[in-house]
Structure 1
């Protein structure tokens, strides 16, 4: 009977219905057809889905990303990175990766990072002779780093619904995120030389470097403050999200003076709209989680896996395939919120570290942001770069394969994920 629920869900999404609405409608239809569950559970489970103080951190980080986008912080980081590495062949593509790694430590959102970085770097890449589709593809692939390098909104989701330490999840994403950045740089190196992208000769001077460092210092300090506060326990997750907003707002208003007071209502409004679109998914997922618990789907899957006698190796391989496929047809948020609580107990029973499993799930679903037909980053990059969807798909596959290679490496070498969290927080 539970299969009927997902058939309705996928059918409504295929018809073009918004994801949260499709989830709500399919859940209510399931209750009506099943006949034994009171419709009053719809309201109570939806309220329960957003009844967590930790969720306050999500709109705060979304607001931090919006402020960063409007304040010109990204432009300052781009200028510094371009000065340092822009003279190499494919230099601006390297800049895209480096800036995304830094910006990721503030916004925690792939969409926010892509909007901020791509709108700055893609026009410059096109002016310097890069193909539009290549510029869009590397910026889209680099934006995946946003939800992996802390702070990470998806990892906050995972922590809230599972009880896994968000701090451990954040630290667990650092090494995989750096590895992903490394393989993207390697792919850029090969492609840039094959296509003989032009180099840009710039005069190096200490005075110019000092000026760039002065302008970008406060921007670089934003992720340092956020991560430092979490790692050393000075602040909670919600407090650090508020601190991020206050810090970026302060430097934007009084140091860079790139945001005016009259612009703040619009920034707050945009952040509120985006945040509400996330929070309503949490609400309808509360209904889904109740229905899944009602039919004991987790117990059924656990029994099935015990019957198949799956090893941890095989289980993780199947999970990777399952999540990569789901990432092609569903948004990452409902997938992790619906299926992670079901799969986590099975993973723990097989001896898989919960932090390791949580990070692997996030890696899978973030790569899904680059895969059609739902891949939201693909559509965003097409719009920013003004390039056709088919052209972008041809260019992005080398980067997607490189990211999947890191996913497999982190899947089967758990220490890449767990070493840093265990070093800071202990086993």
Structure 2
């Protein structure tokens, strides 16, 4: 009964348009009142414990790093490097969109935010190159799922925080599925190009590209930020908070060096980062109260009992959980979905024999693809607005990309080493 009240009030408040942290706190408060669990100080105490993890300090600096990268103009340098490789081929700009999202948008905590950042640079170039607006919007929406999967990934940070899994293993575990997703998108672009649906190379590259050495030197500092984060965490030289602070400072110095960031814009940057970070902290505070009720009501044990009655094996449970997260990803952003549901399902997955790193990484992949899934995927609405294309036309163009991504997801789910091979290799015994 208490669980019906908890989740019933949660989804009712969400349908009414309440912010997710308000919906979580409201449902927790109503359930505490009805069930009589603990005293009046239980909820504020649990909210305080929800934000007591010192690793949460890393999140504002990762968000700041993403804001700084966008303001510093680093994305365009990576675009120029990608076009050196792909500009000679039909559909080169579409290939470049995929490459840019894989390398440049991983520090964003949100795929829609990544889509907005990259598409603002790529959509005008694709329009000038002769691409249809519907296709340009579709490839930008589809490629946006890559950023939060490829390391360093902010959603993986949240997975680590709520499950106590190794962040380094989660980061490295995202490489295999990330590569498969890239190949799936590249294959779809290639198929569209072979059908003659995309402009040839001469329509896109009116100017001769700069020498490779010049382009690499210009892009290397931008590519160095994710590499620096990975080396620091995998090598154990720094904590997640320390590496987030250093990486944000590094990107800030790049912005000053390129003269794309000035001291005048910093107060606004810091203000926007602080406001966004405060919403994340409020969410974690709400999660503290929400998960307290879940723990007291032994929701994980109840889910495990149901799974036991169904006699599901690891593969069947994994596929069912992935379908669940795919649907959840259509209506919830990755962060609240991870914070609400992963603490319930992760213990069940471990008990039933699913590798926790495999499960954690695939949860993020599913939630990202859910954002692209009609009829409610947030990425579709974002690119429909930015690209100024009808929603139905965008959905039709997205379907081939979505199909390819789902095939890559299924491959990653059924073949566990796609996710776990590199973490097991780099973290033996971890």
Superposition TM-score, scaled by structure 1 size:
0.95
1:293 aligns with 2:295: yes
Aligned length: 426
Alpha-carbon distance in 2 for matches of 1:77, 1:188: 19
Question: Contact between 1:89 and 1:196, CA under 8 Å: does it hold in 2?
Answer: no
Q: Identify the residue that residue 351 of structure 1 maps to in structure 2.
A: 353
Q: Identify the residue that residue 181 of structure 1 maps to in structure 2.
A: 182
Q: Deviations over 1:214-237 (max 9, x none)?
A: 322211222222222222222221
Q: Deviations over 1:104-146 (max 9, x none)?
A: 4544542442222111001111121212121112111111111
Q: Identify the residue that residue 279 of structure 1 maps to in structure 2.
A: 281
1:230 aligns with 2:226: no
Alpha-carbon distance in 2 for matches of 1:275, 1:137: 30
Alpha-carbon distance in 1 for matches of 2:299, 2:291: 10
Q: Identify the residue that residue 213 of structure 1 maps to in structure 2.
A: 216
List runs of 5+ in structure 1 lacking aligned partners: none
Q: Deviations over 1:196-250 (max 9, x none)?
A: 3212334897864333223222112222222222222222211111121011001
Q: Identify the residue that residue 59 of structure 2 maps to in structure 1.
A: 58
Q: Which moved more, 1:232-241 or 1:116-125?
A: 232-241
Q: Identify the residue that residue 100 of structure 1 maps to in structure 2.
A: 101
Is the partner of 1:164 in helix, strand or coil?
Answer: coil
Question: Contact between 1:136 and 1:392, CA under 8 Å: does it hold in 2?
Answer: yes
Q: Which moved more, 1:231-240 or 1:259-268?
A: 231-240
Q: Identify the residue that residue 117 of structure 2 maps to in structure 1.
A: 116
Distance 1:141-1:232 versus aligned 2 partners, 3 A rule: same
1:252 aligns with 2:241: no
Q: Identify the residue that residue 375 of structure 1 maps to in structure 2.
A: 377
Alpha-carbon distance in 1 for matches of 2:355, 2:37: 37
Superposition TM-score, scaled by structure 2 size:
0.94
Alpha-carbon distance in 1 for matches of 2:4, 2:332: 16
List runs of 5+ in structure 2 lacking aligned partners: none
Alpha-carbon distance in 2 for matches of 1:363, 1:124: 28
Question: Contact between 2:358 and 2:420, CA under 8 Å: does it hold in 1?
Answer: yes
Distance 1:375-1:277 versus aligned 2 partners, 3 A rule: farther
Distance 1:302-1:196 versus aligned 2 partners, 3 A rule: closer
Question: Contact between 2:330 and 2:373, CA under 8 Å: does it hold in 1?
Answer: yes
Out of 321, 337, 341, the position equivalent to 1:339 is: 341
1:140 aligns with 2:149: no
1:199 aligns with 2:200: yes
Is the partner of 2:151 in helix, strand or coil?
Answer: coil
Distance 1:95-1:113 versus aligned 2 partners, 3 A rule: same
Q: Identify the residue that residue 328 of structure 1 maps to in structure 2.
A: 330
Distance 1:197-1:36 versus aligned 2 partners, 3 A rule: closer
Is the partner of 1:370 in helix, strand or coil?
Answer: coil
Alpha-carbon distance in 1 for matches of 2:110, 2:95: 20
Q: Which moved more, 1:198-207 or 1:406-415?
A: 198-207
Is the partner of 2:195 in helix, strand or coil?
Answer: helix
Alpha-carbon distance in 2 for matches of 1:373, 1:9: 22
Distance 1:51-1:376 versus aligned 2 partners, 3 A rule: farther
User: How far is 1:39 from its partner?
Assistant: 3.4
User: How far is 1:413 from its partner?
Assistant: 0.8
Question: Contact between 2:82 and 2:96, CA under 8 Å: does it hold in 1?
Answer: yes
Out of 253, 264, 273, the position equivalent to 1:262 is: 264
Alpha-carbon distance in 1 for matches of 2:210, 2:135: 33
User: How far is 1:68 from its partner?
Assistant: 0.4
Q: Identify the residue that residue 395 of structure 1 maps to in structure 2.
A: 397
Is the partner of 2:371 in helix, strand or coil?
Answer: helix
Alpha-carbon distance in 1 for matches of 2:312, 2:195: 44
Q: Deviations over 1:315-371 (max 9, x none)?
A: 112111211122222222222112211111211112211111111111111112223
Alpha-carbon distance in 1 for matches of 2:159, 2:42: 24
Q: Which moved more, 1:370-379 or 1:400-409?
A: 370-379
Question: Contact between 2:6 and 2:31, CA under 8 Å: does it hold in 1?
Answer: yes
1:241 aligns with 2:248: no
Alpha-carbon distance in 1 for matches of 2:370, 2:56: 24
Alpha-carbon distance in 2 for matches of 1:232, 1:126: 43
Q: Identify the residue that residue 168 of structure 1 maps to in structure 2.
A: 169
Q: Identify the residue that residue 404 of structure 1 maps to in structure 2.
A: 406
Q: Identify the residue that residue 34 of structure 2 maps to in structure 1.
A: 33
